[in-house]
Structure 1
Amino acid sequence: MKRHRQEKGYSLDKLAELTDSSKSYIWELENRDIRKPSGEKLTRIAQALEVTTDYLLDDTAEPGDEVLREAFFRKFSKLKPEDQEKIQQMIDMWGKKD
C-alpha cells in the first residue's frame, strides 16, 4: 500500500484525508505485519489509490489489465451521463477504424 500511496504522490496525511481515516491508521496498515482493515476503509483506500481491494491485499501483486480496467470503470461510473456518452462515442469511432 505504501508504494501505491507514494506513486500517487500522497503523504500519509493526504491519504488519510481522502479516505476519512487517521494518519496513524494509514501508518499501521502500511507498517504492521497483521493488518485488519474494515471493508469500508479498504474500499476507500483502493478508490483513492485507483486500485482494487484485492490488489491492495496482495503485496506481491502487480497491476494487470483487470486492475486497470476496474479503475477505469470506477472513474467512468462517476462521470456525468453526458460525459459518459461522449466517451462512448469516442470508443465507437475508434472501433470503426478497424
Structure 2
Amino acid sequence: MASKLGDKLKTYRTKKGLTLDALAAAAGMSKSYLWELENRESLHPSAEKLQAIAAVLGVDMAFFVDDSVKQPKQEHLDDAFFRDYNKLDASAKEQLHQILETFKKK
C-alpha cells in the first residue's frame, strides 16, 4: 500500500510526463528506490533524496511532506523557482531581470 508521499510522487511524476527511469536518472537514484517510494508504506527518504526528486519535478520538497495538500500550491512552485534562480550565474540572472522588466511594461 502506498503512502501519501508515494501517491503524490507517482501522480506528479506522471503529470510531468516522466517515467521512473527518467526521474531516477535525473535525480541520481535507482529506479527501484523510486518505485519503493511510490508503492511502499514505510519508506522515509532523506531530505537530500527528497530535494533531488523535487528539483527534477520543479516543486519545493515541502509539497511532498505536507499531507494536507494533494496538488502543489503556487508557493511550492515559487520556492522551487527561486531555489533554481539562486543557482544561476550573474549573466542568466540579468537575462531574467530583463524579461521581467519587459512583462512589467505591458
Q: Give the TM-score taking structure 2 as reference length.
A: 0.78
Higher relative contact order (CA 8 A, sep 6+): 2
Q: Measure how far apart 1:57 and its partner are.
A: 2.1
What is the aligned partner in structure 2 of residue 5 from structure 1? 13
Q: Are positions 1:28 and 2:20 aligned together?
A: no
1:64 is matched with 73
TM-score of the superposed pair, with normalisation by structure 1: 0.83
Residues 6-58 of structure 1: per-residue CA shift (max 9 Å, x gap): 11111111111111111110001001112210111111001011111111123
State the AA in 1 paired with 2:36: E
Question: What amino acid is aligned across from residue 24 of structure 1 in structure 2?
Answer: S
Given that 2:50 and 2:61 are in contact with CA atoms closer than 8 Å, whether structure 1 keeps it comes out as yes
Identity of aligned residues (%): 42
Task: Tell whether the 8 Å contact from 2:27 to 2:52 is kept in structure 1 after alignment.
Answer: yes
* Large movers: runs of 4+ above 3 Å: 92-95
Q: Where do 5+ consecutive residues of structure 1 fail to align?
A: none
List alignment gaps of at least 5 residues for structure 2.
1-8
Q: How many residues align?
A: 97
